[in-house]
Homo-oligomer: A and B are copies of this chain.
Amino acid sequence: MQSEEPEKKTSREKTFVLRNSFLTDIFDDYHTRNLYNVYVIVVTGLCLQNALRHYVNDGRVEFGLETIGKGFAKFDKAILIWLCCFLSTCATFFFFQIWGKFRTWDKKLTRTWDWFWAAALGLYYFYTLKLTSTATLYFEFNPPCAAFVSMESVRLLMKVHSFVRIKAPPLMSASEDAKFSNFLYFLFAPTLIYRDSYPRTNSINWNFVICRLLEAISMLFMFTFIVEAIYPTPERWLAKYTIKDTMLIITEWIPHADLVLCGSFFLVFHSVQNLFAEVTRFGDRLFYEDWWSQSKHSKWLTKWNLLVRDWLYCFVYRDFKHYLCDNNSLAIFVVIVLSFAMHEYVMFCFIGKFIPCFLFLAIVVVFPMFYLNFPKSIFFNVLLWCSSGLMMSATMLMYTFEHYAVMKAPLKDPTLLELIIPRFITCDCVLKF
């Protein structure tokens, strides 16, 4: 496979080396270690604000525990669904072995055999996503559980695809065997690119593990405090909103939207990935680069999440160009649409309804941005931050509206068009024109 591709591409093949995350180094550096305090101050400040507000309003302080309890109400069922996903993922390994073992049994049937299993894999992808979302909606999970289940199912599918895509060519040419222990390690290691072995650290630093775990827990509380701050009472959402109200809420929410943006990044790409990396002694911890200082939208997006970027580059961008159509722009377009469609899928699991908000963003904003070449300057960096805050705030409000619209006026047997058009526009119970 590799040898067939041009030299330029081969040089961008993912190589794993022992290295720290950006923020780990920043928080170790003498000049910048105080930046860590900013995170602690923000979380503590929000906690204090939350406690005071609750004490004054309700006469008691519960530090967001009630909301967290509600959010994780059906976590046992979520774990059950996750277990099904996980076991089916493990099963793919054995089906992969069966495919490899018997494909040369009858040389005439090899091609048919390959196509059969390729189709089976495609169906497996489709039904995993479909069944997960159906189960999520059936159990009426709250956002934390819905996020856990849907994101895990997507992650496991990406792992399966990575494993099959990387192990199939050598198995086809040399009947090389794959070990289940390697596959199992890969499922828990913080990477989406399969290798038989990775650079590993010598030992587990349990202090590091505990710190990352505490960070993750603190982030959970932070999100709870933000949710309680911006959704003060459920009754608020029973009213109808004019365009003016909508714009005011978007404006009001910008600081919280920025906190959600930075907090999600910190939780998912720093704390959780480093936690799993330390526990699995995984050496390469470059899960993200310094997206925050970029001036270009494309750089911002590609440095935000190296895990998925590498996966998209190897298995979508490169494979698309190699097997389907050698057009760079089209390949980029496919990558962006697929990536944003997956965000859309996760949001669908949250509220049980599509609004093609992310797809719209992807096609109208993000794709053209890849072709605008901003010079690296403070002005464009600030522009990027402001537009991100605004977009994040608007997106949060749109999904909130949609959530309440679906609750107030549920759709019975919706057509595809009804499923795609935002319900808060058509239901006449959220917006007032």
A contacts, CB < 8 Å to B:
26, 29, 31-32, 34-37, 40-41, 44-45, 48-49, 52-53, 55-57, 244, 247-248, 250-252, 254-255, 258, 290, 292-293, 378, 381-382, 385-386, 389-390
Contacts and interface: CB of A to CB of B under 8 A. Distances in A.
Given A32-B31, A45-B386, A254-B48, A37 B247 contact: no
Contact of A45 (B44, B52, B56, B254): B254
Given A49-B254, A53-B248, A248-B56, A31 B34 contact: no
Instruction: Give the number of times this chain occurs in the complex, counting copies.
Output: 2
Contact of A36 (B45, B290, B378): B378
Q: Give the interface SS of chain A, mostly helix, strand, loop or mixed.
A: helix
Contacts of A290: 34
A382 B37 contact: yes
A361 B29 CA distance: 36
Given A34-B292, A37-B381, A45 B248 contact: no
B53 A251 contact: yes
Contacts of A45: 254-255, 258, 385-386, 389
A250 B36 CA distance: 26
B255 A41 contact: no
A247 B382 contact: no
Contacts of A248: 52-53, 56-57
A36 to B, nearest CB: 7
Contact of A251 (B49, B251, B254, B258): B49
A386 B37 contact: no
A32 B34 contact: no
A35 B252 CA distance: 24
Contacts of A26: 31
Given A251-B53, A251-B56, A48 B382 contact: no
B52 A251 contact: yes
From A29, A56, A389, name the one whose CB has the most chain B CB atoms within 10 angstroms.
A56
B48 A390 contact: yes
A136 to B, nearest CB: 35
11 contacts: A29-B31, A34-B293, A45-B255, A45-B386, A45-B389, A48-B251, A49-B251, A52-B251, A53-B251, A57-B244, A255-B255
